[in-house]
């Protein structure tokens, strides 16, 4: 699937290579190659990647370009906000923006309750939905504590590529009567591309990363994931539910950590 390389992507690729080569040399880790043609489903030492995301709330300005890009990428109607930007008011009355993709929970409540195993976890830790199997009972929507799942009540819009067959990794077009959700754009990352939302974020607030190789990138800078979330006191939303989300938030705008 040849796709035009945007200026951003090109910059991302170059930036990643340039900046992270130096980091890699210094720390001994290999950079994550987000560029076309570089197959990135595996780390250089052939382990499956474990995708994770870091969302820097200090940077997010709530423009919802991530949501738009996601909807374009997956040919979704406007009501389908697989990555949804919430406007949250903290206890001091200040408002900040909080994008919510699917958290790809390690202990995913949606996965446990599915009666037909239409929801499953891929090798790379991403929770996927097999819409050929889904019976549309919506138990997973009741079980998800983050409201990250969306049900296709109506026929999805006509697909741009009508001959493409949807797969769990690339569920486009969506199937009516079944449930869909964010899948970290695994159809893009496998080709070394950034997820649509990460690529579209003008504020560079979204990072896609790999827990195994311990790196993350927002397309411009590449960071060591564990260090990045530790230094910035990153938290996971409703971590007390022990769902084990793979999305980390860096709080900003002065809100209290226990408030979000």
Partner 1 sequence: MDSLTRKRYVERAVWPIGRGDRNFWISVGVLSAMVAAGLFAWIYQLVNGLGVTGLNQKVSWGFYIINCVFFIGISYGGAMTSAILRLTNAKWRAPLTRIAEATAVAALVVGAVYPIIDLGRPDRFLTIPLYAQFGSPIIWDVVAISTYIVASFVFLYLPLVPDVAVASAALGGRSRFLAPIYRILSLGWRGTPAQERALKRGIGIMAILIIPLAVSVHSVLALLFAVTARGGWHSTIFAPLFVLAAMLSGVAAVILVVTALRKVYGLQEFITARHFRYLSYLLVALGIGYLYFMISEYVTEGYLLDASTTPVLEAIFTGAYAPAFWAFSIGGLVFPLVLAVAPGRFPIARAGVASMLVVAGMWLKRFLIVVPGMAEPIMPWDWGRYSPTWVEVTITIGSAAAIPLILVVFFRFFPVMSVHEMDEVEGAEEQARPQLQIAYAGGGDD
Q: Provide the binding-site residues for partner 1, judged by CB under 8 A.
A: 79-80, 84, 86-89, 98, 100, 109, 112-118, 133-139, 141-143, 145-147, 150-155, 176-179, 238, 241, 243, 260
Peptide bond into 44 cis (omega under 30): no
Output 118 or 251, the one with its CB closest to partner 1: 118
- The DSSP secondary structure of 109-141, one letter per residue, reads HHHHH-TT--EEE-TTS-EEE-TTT-----HHH
Output 24 or 260, the one with its CB closest to partner 1: 260
CA 59 to chain CA mean position, Å: 17
Output 111 or 185, the one with its CB closest to partner 1: 111
State whether residue 69 is helix, strand or coil.
Answer: helix
- Name the minimum Å distance from CB 188 to partner 1: 24
Residue pointed to by tokens 């889904």: 134
Output 89 or 164, the one with its CB closest to partner 1: 89
- Name the minimum Å distance from CB 88 to partner 1: 5
In terms of C-beta density within 10 A (0-12 exposed, 13-18 middle, 19 or more buried), how is residue 57 classed? buried
- Name the minimum Å distance from CB 252 to partner 1: 16
- Name the minimum Å distance from CB 29 to partner 1: 35
């Amino acid at each position: 699937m040849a796709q035009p390389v945007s200026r951003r992507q090109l910059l991302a690729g170059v930036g990643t290579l340039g900046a992270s080569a130096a980091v890699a040399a210094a720390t001994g880790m290999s950079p994550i190659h987000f560029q076309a043609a570089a197959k990135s489903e595996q780390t250089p030492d052939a382990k499956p990647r474990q995708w994770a995301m870091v969302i820097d709330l200090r940077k997010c300005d709530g423009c919802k370009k991530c949501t738009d890009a996601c909807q374009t990428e997956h040919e979704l109607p406007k009501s389908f906000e697989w990555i949804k930007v919430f406007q949250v008011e903290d206890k001091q009355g200040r408002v900040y923006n909080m994008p919510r993709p699917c958290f790809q929970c390690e202990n995913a409540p949606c996965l446990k309750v599915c009666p037909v195993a239409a929801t499953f976890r891929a090798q790379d830790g991403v929770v996927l939905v097999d819409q050929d199997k889904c019976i549309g009972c919506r138990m997973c929507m009741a079980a998800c504590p983050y409201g990250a799942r969306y049900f296709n009540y109506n026929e999805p819009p006509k697909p741009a590529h009508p001959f493409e067959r949807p797969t769990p990794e690339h569920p486009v077009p969506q199937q009516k009567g079944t449930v869909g959700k964010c899948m970290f754009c695994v159809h893009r990352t496998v080709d070394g591309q950034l997820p649509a939302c990460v690529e579209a974020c003008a504020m560079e607030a979204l990072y896609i990363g790999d827990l195994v190789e311990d790196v993350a990138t927002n397309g411009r800078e590449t960071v060591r994931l564990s260090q990045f979330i530790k230094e910035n006191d990153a938290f996971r939303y409703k971590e007390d539910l022990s769902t084990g989300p793979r999305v980390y938030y860096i709080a900003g705008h002065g809100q209290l950590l226990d408030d979000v």
